[in-house]
Structure 1
Amino acid sequence: MILVFGRTGQVATELQRLGDVTALGRDDANLEDPRTCADAIRQHRPDIVINAAAYTAVDHAEQDAARATLINGAAPAAMARACADAGAALVHISTDYVFDGSGSAPWTPDAPTAPINAYGRSKLAGEAGIRAAGGTYAILRTSWVFSAHGANFVKTMLRLGADRDRLNIVADQIGGPTSAAAIARACLAVGRALRHNPQKTGTYHLSGTPETSWADFARAIFDRAGLGTQVLDIATAAYPTPAARPLNSRLDNSSLTRTFGLPRPDWRADLNEVLRELAAR
């Protein structure tokens, strides 16, 4: 039995499409009360737990760090302890924001972490709590998540592009857009593999290929959607936000491929699927 924390988020939605999972919403397990998360695991007795729920309001986290750390730090740690007690495998989704974004080389899973905002620190706290629990787990760091559901960059660009002739988009942040569908598929594959081979426990990276900038990602969205919106490249410094963003979000996926046989997803193909789904609505 596969238990999913999260019901309406991007990855949780895709997980429910892919398989026979039990998805818990806030009424079932409130991540602001980590005890309810542990109680849910004890009640359902799953073989695999996937944590697809998180506090993701990056800018708001600067003023709401305690709540972000409760949801992203304490709740996953409580899940991990309950999974360890129950002999269940835990797959936890984390983020490129645990790194400081320096340099230009892809970050490996064992690279030093140094988050530059409260959201990144809260996610790093969750990773530490999971490792400390001593159970079977995979921490799956990903980046730039998009889908046909919820709020994300693709849907924002389509909305703005429908009304504007040109948009200023940051061009000096580089990363790998990753579809929620690709993340969901990886979570299921990794969780099932961990059940058979707990020695695969560890931290892994999953991000789309090829690496691109936000500006070039926007261009691809407009081109595939048939919108004539012009993209003007700007620097991160020209678009200040409450939370600092890493410039280098490149992630090295090689250990995920080597250990689980999962290739990097091509975000261009996944973008086409998302656009087709949105157009059909």
Structure 2
Amino acid sequence: MLESTLSNDEFIFQATCPLGGGIVSEVSSYLWDKTCYIKELHQFDDLNTGEFFMRAVCRIDSDEVSIDSIREGFGALSDKFGMTWDMHDSTKPCRVLIMVSKLDHCLDDLLYRHRKGELAMDITAIVSNHQDVRPMAEREGIRFVHLPITKENKAEQEAALLEIVDETNTDLVVLARYMQILSDKLSKRLSGKVINIHHSFLPGFKGAKPYHQAFDRGVKLIGATAHYVTADLDEGPIIEQAVQVVDHSFNSEMLTAAGRDTETIALAKAVKYHVNHRVFMTGNKTVVFK
């Protein structure tokens, strides 16, 4: 249950339900009756799946009304439409845990954006299987946790990670170039709460040194994909993608540098969409109100 709010506080309303008539009208009327001014409204009818998606940013214009009271009275309306919904207090930042191995460009970019106030999040910890980024965490005054991974201790370290997630009330885990595969058990336990950044090319290159492989094949386009983590490796619902045109003059080092740019852009956008409650998961896809 979200905490009560005072006059002029804002909240974000998210809902999905089967397609039907009158949904926007009745939801808007309910919110208006509760002295809520709708500042922003997005909706999408998925004619392929028969699903309706809605996101609204609302301002409460009465000292007598709270998010709690709005939530409590919405049940009857949500039941009428078979709606899955939530209301998120805009004053409460998303609690984010960042995981990284040795490559630090995505972490550095997220820390910069966080420092500049671009991302509505509180960083609960930085977790790594190496010590390389410890100075970055300490510089920002963020808790650093070293969880080295071996074949023998993987299950034990994932259990330790879950303890940290629970202890810190973490809402989202970001794999900012974390070069370990999460187990099926952990992926299912944190379903919809883990975002990964993955280099994506045409064709796709897997394994070590993907940009060197791309150079050897003479690619003309490089990119990166930010997606939710599932038990199927690098097959989770896509949130954001970034691409950059390259040509024959790019050597492997230049491709790597360009790849860093696309990775940081795609990951930062995906994290921003998630923490601002703009993403809906639907099957193996997402609906993102940008």
The question of a shared fold, defined as TM-score above 0.5 by the shorter chain, is answered with: no
**Higher radius of gyration, 1 or 2:** 2
Which structure's residues are more often strand, by fraction? 2
Please report the TM-score for the alignment, with normalisation by the length of structure 2.
0.30
Larger helix proportion of the pair: 1
TM-score by length of 1: 0.31
